[in-house]
Structure 1
Amino acid sequence: MDDINKQLVFTTEDTGKENKTPSPDAPDKQCGTWRLKITPVDYLLGVADLTGELMRMCINSVGNGDIATPFEVSQFLRQVYDGFSFIGNTGPYEVSKKLYTLKQSLAKVENACYALKVRGSEIPKHMLADVFSVKTEMLDQEEGIS
């Protein structure tokens, strides 16, 4: 989690003075840091949205033949889910709703990892993405999403 937070620091070329908009044609430019203020709830909702994108990246990486990424993503999603579990239903309604979606994303990634570990040698690599997309559709139908 700390690695991701470190990567979320964006820099821009600045004249070195605080609170001044950088000029595109200023000759002596130095790196400055932008600060963006968001509420804790918005931050949590953004992290929860990130988990859905990571789930898609995991399934796509399997289709591309990258077998290591799903296991790394699964471990990270488990840590995020554990963190969200501490909040539980005490947070705002949107956060508890995202927790349910996060749990679904984690289940899909864990199912993909399970299939890779147990049945990976049985399924040709070019067919893995199709197998996981069918499983995902079946899970969504069971839960009444589609």
Structure 2
Amino acid sequence: MVSDRRYCRWPRSSRERTCISSIGPLLQPSSDALEKQFDSWQLRITPVDYLLGVADLTGELMRMCINSVGNGDIDTPFEVSQFLRQVYDGFSFIGNTGPYEVSKKLYTLKQSLAKVENACYALKVRGSEIPKHMLADVFSVKTEMIDQEDGIS
């Protein structure tokens, strides 16, 4: 899986979103002389595996979002929500026409997006009412409710 070999850093600034890859054996030096000039590498991975890795990344971003609220970071959930919405929209174009694994991940991505959007909603509507140290408890209860609605135990 791509996500198993990838270290992602979600920076404080939305301008510098970067993923720092540490994918070792998957990288091979490029054979093209022009590309060698620019020290480029080729990544040998199938498009389906890449999409599955991106989908797995969204689950990790959802966890990071909920944890950031518990740590008192109120801005990160809104940034993550926008990014997850864009990824979900992109995956929606593939929908059920793509490989089975991708359509299955689309369902999980939808759940992650719902959890992050619920966190953003609670922050926007109830954020001033709830003390910061109690926000994590509110989101863990909401996450359990979403999982129960979807039949996940």
Answer 1 or 2: which has greater helix percent.
2
- Which TM-score band (shorter chain)? 0.7 to 0.9
2:54 & 2:129 partners in 1: Cα distance?
Answer: 35
**Gaps in structure 2 of 5+ consecutive residues:** 1-15, 32-37
- SS of match in other structure, 2:43: coil
Corresponding residue of 2:34: none
Query: What is the alpha-carbon distance in structure 1 between the residues aligned to residue 63 and residue 113 of structure 2?
Result: 11
Alignment match, 2:132: 125
Larger-Rg structure: 1
Q: Which residue of 1 aligns with 2:46?
A: 39
- 2:63 matched to which residue of 1? 56
How high is the TM-score relative to the length of structure 2? Answer: 0.76
- What amino acid is aligned across from residue 87 of structure 1 in structure 2? I
Letter in 2 for 1:126: H
TM-score, with length taken from structure 1: 0.80
CA deviations over 1:33-87 (Å, ceiling 9, x no partner): 5432100000000000000000000000000000000000000000000000110
* Superposed counterparts of 1:30-109, under 5 Å: 32-109=39-116
Report SS of the residue matched to 1:88.
Answer: helix
| Aligned residue-pair number | 129
Q: In the alignment, which residue of structure 1 is the partner of 2:117? A: 110
Name stretches of at least 5 consecutive residues in structure 1 with no aligned partner. 20-30
Contact 1:10–1:34 (CA under 8 A) maintained in structure 2: no
Residues 58 and 112 of structure 2 are in contact (CA less than 8 Å); yes or no, is this contact kept in structure 1?
yes
> In 2, are the aligned partners of 1:48 and 1:102 still within 8 Å (CA)?
yes
Q: What RMSD, in angstroms, separates the aligned Cα atoms of the two structures?
A: 2.5
**2: CA distance between counterparts of 1:84 and 1:129?**
29
List structure 1 segments (4+ residues) > 4 angstroms apart after TM superposition. 8-12, 31-34
**1:58–1:73: 8 Å Cα contact kept in structure 2?**
yes
User: 1:139: Cα distance to partner?
Assistant: 1.1
Q: Quick check: 1:74–1:106 contact (8 Å CA) kept in 2?
A: yes
Distance 1:8 1:82 in 2: 24
Look up the SS of the partner of 2:44 in the other structure.
coil
SS at match of 1:7: strand
Percent same amino acid among aligned pairs? 84
Partner of 1:141: 148
